């Protein structure tokens, strides 16, 4: 459980986080969405005690992060895969971290195995690819077997296989009842992973909802093509829908595809196409955060 309440964070005159409140619940993968510069990383840094907020609180399991005695046993975090010393081996890096939280050496081998770095455990990190570093960062987050996990843009630099691995790992972790917060600026990625989303833009909360709800909100009606489109339009209007013409077909809203199919069948009208449409998640995301994008393409003109 992560609880962020009334969080405000300022860098000089710039307001990075503006009165942000949300909660991340256990057992779910929660996506933390927003364009670059929205304040996602700052919020996560506040949760981890790396920054002190101007006002508001960020609690993990009901306590500020800084008061945790062995924080890695309660919270695992991947903030920046580059935040390592290239001169150490993967195993040494993890062992240093583990020891600082009283975690046994055995865990180092286990997490390296878990993230698929067991074979390169004794190689210096300097020679690692970005993807390997992401895996190493995730291994570090898993060291303390924590109930709360936070990942900032974990799929950056990963190949498709790696991306799928991360998705499955998060689902697995959530499935074990853990609290999982994953930030991303890519909506599509979240659609495949997250159960719940928190969307922010310019530091403000834009949406805090389940994934299905978010999809629902951006329903765009059903595209219908039929042999007798005029009759069908009348029937559907009578059925309570609003109907418009579009691209040689009908754009129907107010009825779902199943009901449209039933009404057409009842009148013996052959359907050539019946396509429920939603805005792509990318579009929805742009729509939600459009106002808040700091350096939007429109304004750049």
Contacts with other proteins, residue ranges (CB under 8 A): 48-52, 65-66, 68, 70-72, 77, 79-80, 82-89, 92-93, 95-97, 99-102, 140
To 10 degrees, the CA torsion angle through 43, 48, 50, 52?
Answer: 60
Chain center to CA of 140: 20
d(CA 214, CA 280): 11
Rounded least distance, CB 75 to other proteins, Å: 8
Neighbours of 7 (CB within 10 A): 25
| Residue 195: CB minimum distance to other proteins, A | 25
Pick the closer one to other proteins by CB: 100 or 275.
100
Closest to 113 (Cα-Cα) out of 88, 84, 146, 90: 90
**Distance between CA 149 and CA 76 in Å, rounded?**
5
> Closest distance between other proteins and the C-beta of residue 81, in Å?
10
Q: Pick the closer one to other proteins by CB: 129 or 266.
A: 129
DSSP 7: E
| Residue placing its CB nearer to other proteins in the complex, 101 or 251 | 101
- Residue found by looking up tokens 């659609």 in the block: 191
Of 80, 15, 9, 77, give the one whose Cα is nearest residue 43.
9
Min dist CB 92 to other proteins, Å, is 4
Instruction: Provide, rounded to whole angstroms, the least separation between the CB of residue 140 and other proteins.
Output: 7
Whether the CA torsion 179, 180, 181, 186 is positive or negative: it is: negative
- Answer for the pair 49, 64: CB distance below 8 angstroms, yes or no: yes
- Choose between 13 and 247: whose C-beta lies nearer to other proteins: 13
Closer by beta carbon to other proteins, 112 or else 250: 112
- Least separation in angstroms between CB 119 and other proteins: 19
Q: Which is nearer to other proteins, 49 or 239 (CB)?
A: 49
């Amino acid at each position: 459980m992560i609880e962020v309440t009334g969080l405000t964070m300022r860098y000089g005159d710039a307001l990075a986080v503006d009165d942000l409140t949300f909660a991340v619940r256990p057992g779910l993968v929660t996506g933390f969405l927003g364009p670059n510069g929205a304040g996602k990383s700052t919020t996560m840094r506040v949760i981890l005690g790396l920054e002190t907020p101007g006002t508001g609180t960020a609690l993990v399991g009901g306590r500020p992060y800084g008061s945790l005695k062995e924080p890695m046993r309660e919270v695992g975090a991947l903030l920046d895969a580059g935040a390592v010393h290239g001169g150490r081996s993967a195993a040494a890096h993890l062992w240093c971290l583990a020891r600082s939280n009283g975690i046994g050496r055995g865990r180092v081998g286990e997490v390296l195995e878990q993230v698929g770095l067991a074979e390169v455990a004794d190689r210096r990190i300097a020679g690692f690819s970005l993807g390997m570093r992401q895996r190493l960062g995730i291994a570090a987050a898993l060291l303390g077997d924590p109930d709360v996990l936070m990942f900032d843009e974990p799929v950056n630099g990963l190949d498709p296989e790696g991306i799928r691995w991360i998705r499955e790992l998060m689902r697995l972790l959530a499935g074990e009842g853990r609290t999982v917060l994953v930030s991303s600026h890519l909506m599509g990625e979240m659609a495949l992973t997250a159960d719940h989303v928190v969307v922010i833009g310019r530091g403000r909360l834009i949406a805090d909802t389940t994934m299905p709800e978010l999809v629902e909100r951006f329903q765009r009606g059903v595209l219908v093509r039929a042999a007798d489109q005029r009759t069908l339009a009348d029937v559907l209007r009578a059925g309570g829908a609003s109907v418009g013409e579009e691209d040689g077909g009908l754009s129907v809203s107010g009825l779902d595809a199943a009901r449209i199919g039933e009404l057409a069948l009842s009148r013996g009208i052959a359907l050539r196409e019946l396509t429920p449409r939603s805005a792509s998640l990318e579009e929805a995301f742009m729509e939600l955060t459009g106002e808040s994008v700091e350096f939007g393409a429109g304004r750049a003109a």
